[in-house]
Copies of this chain bind each other. A is one copy, B any other.
Amino acid sequence: MNACIQLAHGGGGTLMQQLIDQELRCLYNDPEQVLHDAARLERPPGLLAFSTDSYVVQPLEFCGGDIGSLAITGTANDLAMAGARPLHLSVALILEEGLPLELLRRLVASMAASARSCGVAIRTGDTKVVERGKGDGIFITTSGIGVVEAPNAIDPLAIQAGDQILVSGDLGRHGLAIMAARHGLDLQPPVASDCAPLWPLVEQLLAAQVQLHCLRDLTRGGLASALQELAQARGLEFKIENKQLPVLEAVARSCELLGFDPLHLANEGRFVAVLPPQHLERALALLAPLGGRHIGEVREGPGRVLLRTEFGTERLLLPLSGELLPRIC
């Protein structure tokens, strides 16, 4: 087989069958399933969660991850944010003609390893090839099915005045890692993406009977966009303490140098949790050892986010209108 992807690899003929057999079969939990266009699944007991994301990150490989690990972890994380245990994943590839097979192999291995670490099975997939110059190496779209284990609906509309707001760990690493890889910046010390599965931590919170009103992962747009979306959806005011926001020294320093706000940078292994005050202590006991923090609270007021600075002044925390860093995930 040629060492690069050819257009004919997408044609539905023997070359495509070869590509699937030799390079992609290892992804699937049950290789027999490759015979079908649809997987048959045992019916899970409970409400289902269903999510999808396309991944177009550039560069394809970066410190702490690659588009493959991102595509698996990101969709599994979207399910976890609905209080659902991720179970089944689909993987659809759009390959650009000329993609080196060596690179495809690394990304496939990375997807398989990430699926294992997320506890999900890849059940079905698809492969298309587009001409050189009509794609960008590889785009990956994953969809996931999970089973909801949270006893109550985890939902922006469940947020109440008086609720407490936590983040699960330090902020801004994924965005900075992509930025460094894209522009060949030699950050010292190097900053690795925080890309990681979120379900294990959500599972622990649920096992400790922490009632979760809302969860949101802090991807595109970072903490600022996530908080703004939630405050606006619910029509309540979020008050955040700037000095409580966990940002690594190395990240803060690079952000200052580059003119970024870590609150706008994407994360791939972090979430914000909004929960009733009486559950705060139990939640913090689980989150704090991993770098999580209690960052603020919800109160009656307009749907907006107020950031209290170290000087005691307050300012509106606004989401970006557009793009800080395109193609971050």
Kindly state whether residue A15 has any CB partner on chain B within 8 Å. Answer: yes
Kindly state whether residue A195 has any CB partner on chain B within 8 Å. Answer: no
What is the chain B residue whose CB lies nearest that of A78? B37
Min CB distance, A278 to chain B, in Å?
25
Which of B40, B92, B155 is in CB contact (< 8 Å) with A82?
B40
What is the chain B residue whose CB lies nearest that of A232? B17
Kindly state whether residue A146 has any CB partner on chain B within 8 Å. Answer: yes
**Contact, CB under 8 Å: A322 / B15:** yes
Q: With the chains together, A13 CA to B129 CA distance in Å?
A: 31
Q: With the chains together, A53 CA to B35 CA distance in Å?
A: 15
Among A307-323, those with CB < 8 Å from B are 319-323
Among A286-327, those with CB < 8 Å from B are 319-324, 326-327
- B contact residues around A84 at 8 Å (CB): 38
| Interface positions of A (Cβ within 8 A of B) | 6-17, 32, 35-56, 78-79, 81-82, 84, 88, 90-94, 123-131, 133-136, 139, 141, 143-146, 148, 153, 155-157, 217, 219-222, 225, 229, 233, 266, 319-324, 326-327
Min CB distance, A190 to chain B, in Å?
25
Q: With the chains together, A35 CA to B222 CA distance in Å?
A: 16
Q: With the chains together, A268 CA to B221 CA distance in Å?
A: 39
Min CB distance, A287 to chain B, in Å?
21
11 more CB-based (< 8 A) A-B contacts, given A54-B93, A130-B139: A11-B221, A35-B233, A37-B53, A38-B146, A40-B48, A50-B90, A56-B94, A56-B128, A92-B141, A126-B141, A141-B141
